[in-house]
Amino acid sequence: MYTRRSFLQTSVAGTIGIFLPGKFPETSQTPILQGDFPVVISTWDHGLKANETAWKILSDSGRALDAVEQGVRVTEADPNVTSVGYGGFPDSSGHVTLDACIMDEKGNAGSVVYLSDIKHPVSVARMVMEKTSYVILAGRGALEFAESQGFHRENLMTPVARKAWKEWLESKKSYPVGKRNHDTIGMLALDSSGNLSGACTTSGIAFKMPGRVGDSPIIGAGLYVDNEVGAAAATGQGELILKIVGSFLIVELMRNGSTPEDACREAVLRINKKFSPGPDLQVGFIALTRKGQIGGFSLRKGFNYALCRNGKNELIDAKWLI
Ligand code: SD4
């Protein structure tokens, strides 16, 4: 089990303004906050592979923003993950449409919603953030923008996804989130300079109504990053997460002193109290503070997240409410 070893330390180096690797840059007047980082966490077991790529960047003193983008691209490209990127299950009309967003340490954000035919929506979201004055691009406009940035159209529907869609058409049963469908990847990273970034990417709820957009690409719902406090990301039934602006709520709770796990738990409690979600609905949150403390919590049993720190990459079962 992971044990945290973050602590507040006043040091001579801090008073003369020397920035030591692994410590936060602070002014000469303030104590250095020493934390346990770099660190990366991401939702679900597919986060393990994604973390490996992110860790290579972080352990080489790379930027958290690059780590989260490259990390979740691993999941986007994996045809066996049927809820993200290539291989993601389509909407009810048989179109694979993707939602993704990204935030950096300065609070900049970029997002694409309902993007089709592009394997790496997270990278398009980063381009929206870095190359435009906008935050969100949707649908056809997002696709045209992606192509203008050199992304190429690809068929994202795999034979497995097509078969599942055909079967669903025949049975028209609902498809429980987080059970057969292994869910969105949200990734949060804190780099060796003490900077936070996050990314979130999904094909959304399997066989969703055409046009439906969930929480994942919505800043504050599926993802939020505030370098002064921490970051949070969400997975599960997006409608529930949207209605409490889940990730923003968690960051604000941490700002007011909650631990990451308690903040995630409070978000889940709020969802449960307001909406009493049915037995097929799952919601899970992960959170990371600027000192490297981590936590997660879910509505129901079964949510896990991958943590990589000091080169050790492990899967943690989140505590749950019901
Ligand atoms: C959504 N939160 O679109 C995402 C879905 C998810 O399987 O996590 N999915 O609501």
The 10s digit of each residue's pLDDT in 113-127 is 999 999 999 999 999
Question: Binning pLDDT at 50, 70 and 90, where does residue 6 land?
Answer: very low
pLDDT, tens digit (0-9, with 9 covering 90-100), for 92-148: 999 999 999 999 999 999 999 999 999 999 999 999 999 999 999 999 999 999 999
Residue 172's pLDDT band (cuts 50, 70, 90): confident
Is 193 touching ligand 1 by the criterion CB < 6 Å? no
Query: Which pLDDT tens digit goes with each residue over 27-75?
Result: 333 333 456 889 999 999 999 999 999 999 999 999 999 999 999 999 9
Using an 8 Å Cβ cutoff, are 227 and 290 in contact? yes
Reported as a pLDDT band with limits 50, 70 and 90, residue 177 is: low
Rounded to an integer, what distance in angstroms lies between the CA atom of residue 286 and that of residue 183?
14
214 lines ligand 1 (CB under 6 A): yes
- Compute φ and ψ for 295, nearest 5 degrees: -170, 165
Which is it for strands 223-226 and 230-236: parallel, antiparallel or unpaired?
antiparallel
Give the residue carrying structure tokens 């290539």: 86
Contact indicator for 178, 282 with CB cutoff of 8 Å? yes
**Which strand ranges, in their side-by-side order, compose the sheet holding 185-190?**
136-138, 109-116, 97-103, 196-202, 185-190, 39-43, 304-309, 312-317
Integer CA distances (angstroms), 197 to 14, 110, 132, 144, 255, in order = 24, 12, 19, 26, 17
- Binning pLDDT at 50, 70 and 90, where does residue 173 land? low
Look up the pTM and report it.
0.89
| CA 125, 129, 132, 133 torsion-angle sign | positive
Pocket test for ligand 1, best of 179, 215, 281 (most atoms within 8 A of CB): 215
Beta-strand (E) ranges in the chain?
Answer: 7-9, 32-34, 39-43, 97-103, 109-116, 136-138, 185-190, 196-202, 223-226, 230-236, 283-289, 294-298, 304-309, 312-317, 319-320
Q: What are phi and psi of 197, to 5 degrees?
A: -150, 165
Inform me whether the pLDDT recorded for 21 exceeds 50: no
Q: Which of 97, 184, 201, 235 is catalytic?
A: 184
Alpha helices in 201-292 (DSSP H): 238-244, 246-255, 260-275
Distance 290 CA to ligand 1 centre (A): 26
**Annotation marks residue 201 as catalytic:** no
Q: How many CA atoms lie within 13 A of 82 on its CB side?
A: 20
pLDDT at 28: 32
Which tens digit of pLDDT belongs to each residue from 226-255?
A: 999 999 999 999 999 999 999 999 999 999
Sheet holding 223-226, edge to edge: 223-226, 230-236, 283-289, 294-298, 319-320
Is 238 close to ligand 1, i.e. is its CB under 6 Å away?
A: yes
Q: For 248-288, what is each residue's pLDDT tens digit?
A: 999 999 999 999 999 999 999 999 999 999 999 999 999 99
Give the residue with greater pLDDT, 20 vs 100: 100
Question: Ligand 1 within 6 A of 260 CB?
Answer: no
Q: How close is the Cα of 183 to the center of ligand 1, in Å?
A: 6
Q: How far is the CA of 41 from the centre of ligand 1 (A)?
A: 18
Alpha-carbon gap, residue 240 to 286, rounded angstroms: 16
Ligand 1, residue 235: give the atom nearest the CA: 8
- Check whether 7 has a pLDDT greater than 50: no
Substitution site in 111, 174, 202 for ligand 1 pocket (most atoms within 8 Å of beta carbon): 202
Alpha carbon of 37 to ligand 1 centroid (Å): 29
The pair of three-digit structure tokens given for residue 65, joined into one six-digit string: 């923003």
Q: Residues, the chain, total?
A: 322
Protein residue with least CA distance to atom 3, ligand 1: 204
State how far the Cα of 52 lies from the Cα of 40, in Å rounded to an integer: 9
Q: Is 261 in the pocket of ligand 1 (CB under 6 A)?
A: no
How many other C-beta atoms are found inside a 10 Å radius of the C-beta of residue 155? Answer: 9
Instruction: Round the average pLDDT of the chain to a whole number and report it.
Output: 89
